[in-house]
Amino acid sequence: MSQADLVVRGAALAESPQAPVDLFAAKGRILALVPAGTRPVPEGAKVVEAEGMLLLPGLTDVHVHLREPGQEWKETIATGLSAAAKGGFVNVMCMANTDPVNDQASITETMLDKAAKSHPRGPRLFPVGALTLGLEGKSLAPLEELRAAGCKAYSNDGRPVADSELFRRALEYASDLGIPVIDHCEDPYLAPGAGVNEGEVSARLGLRGAPACGEAIQVARDCLLAQYLGVPIHLAHISSKMSVDVIREAKAKGAPVTAETCPHYLILTEEACEDYDTAAKVNPPLRTRADQQALLAALEDGTIDVLATDHAPHASHEKETPFDEAPNGISGLETALSVTWELVARGELSARTLVSAWCVRPAEIFALPLNRFQEGDPADFILFDPSARWTVTPKALASKGKNTPLMGRELTGVVRAAYVAGKNAL
């Protein structure tokens, strides 16, 4: 066994905060995790004193929009990865709806090159390739070429494939390559262009609403296809109870589906769109308290596997328009852990589920580096100060996207360090 070159002393695991531990790592890998003070620190090792901190495996965000190439005024790979590091993420999967679309190796390679140059110490970037050429939903993208270039998943996110036959063939082809497909579940013919949940708020404000069943119909299609074909599908940003019910039933029948939801669906409801607040305009839209409770329960029972931010940065002027005109999206990388940690603090989410949904399951599903604090695992971990408070201000966010309905709100919990393969990316 090699000698530890990094030792983190006195931090606590989220699931057992009363029992501090010492972490030993060498050459970017975990050596051991032991009760605090039970093993001597080798000479020459870098020692990080972490009393009062929580020690979490690094977070993986499987759903991020980095906007580069094409819309660098909203975000760049450099600013997006800085925001990710501040948020505690060690692995980031970026969606294909750039301009041009990431549907060829040269785009993937450019993304990876920019990430390596701007953030050599991490976070790691894992591009998601387009499922169909140009995201147009008409013909398959060169999926093998994208895999060879470094894509870890395929998706038409933002422009779901309505043609079920094409989607079926895409799933089959992708499964040959061993790469999962992520689907944005939305029946594009049901309430096109809606930016708010169909319900009391949309009826009162005179806005076109998106019904929850528009999501659930596509979820049901995907679950049936996954089961029929025996191939995995990952369902993106689930927002409604109706979808949760469909997924739960499908999983019980053995459909190989996994699902994610986002922090904003767990802490906000459609009422955040009152006063036509465009910062709360997101697709799928924020829904009701009943949906929120169903999502929390689904996370706890494993119906929903993963938390993801769906980080969608926009420039201030783009959101400063009447509601209908504003683009969808919330900038979420830097607030994600704080708001979900607050749910843990309030007893609405267990610490075990938080670690599973942010760290373990996303890395498992997409075959990304995963730290379970076992010998040989990558030394990907964060130190999180669970009692520090901070206020969401434009200046506090490293992302170019200041578009969050949490702007001005005080949150609990700050990421003090984010180690990727034993090196602090912050």
Residues in contact with other proteins by CB under 8 A are 198-200, 202-207, 209, 211, 275-276, 317, 320-325
Name the minimum Å distance from CB 65 to other proteins: 22
- Residue 46 to residue 59: CA distance in whole angstroms: 23
Are 55 and 22 spatial neighbours (Cβ–Cβ below 8 Å)? no
| Cβ-based nearer residue to other proteins, 130 or 272 | 272
Q: Among all residues, which ones are annotated catalytic? A: 310
Name the minimum Å distance from CB 198 to other proteins: 5
Name the minimum Å distance from CB 395 to other proteins: 22
Closest CA to 260 of 175, 169, 338, 366: 366
- What are the DSSP calls for 326-367, one per residue? SPP-B--TTTHHHHHHHHHHTTSS-HHHHHIIIIIHHHHHTT
CA torsion sign, 48 to 52 to 57 to 61?
A: negative
Measured in whole angstroms, how far is the alpha carbon of residue 242 from the centre of its chain?
A: 21
| Cβ-based nearer residue to other proteins, 276 or 373 | 276
408 in the Ramachandran plot: left (φ > 0), alpha (ψ -120 to 50) or beta? left
Name the minimum Å distance from CB 149 to other proteins: 36
Name the minimum Å distance from CB 204 to other proteins: 7
DSSP 8-state symbol, 294: H
Are 198 and 224 spatial neighbours (Cβ–Cβ below 8 Å)? no
Between β-strands 306-307 and 29-35, what pairing exists: parallel, antiparallel or unpaired?
unpaired
**Coil, strand or helix at 49:** strand
Q: For the stretch 150-174, what's the b/e string if a residue is b when 16 or more beta carbons lie within 10 angstroms of its beta carbon?
A: ebbbbbbbbbbbeeeebbbebbebb
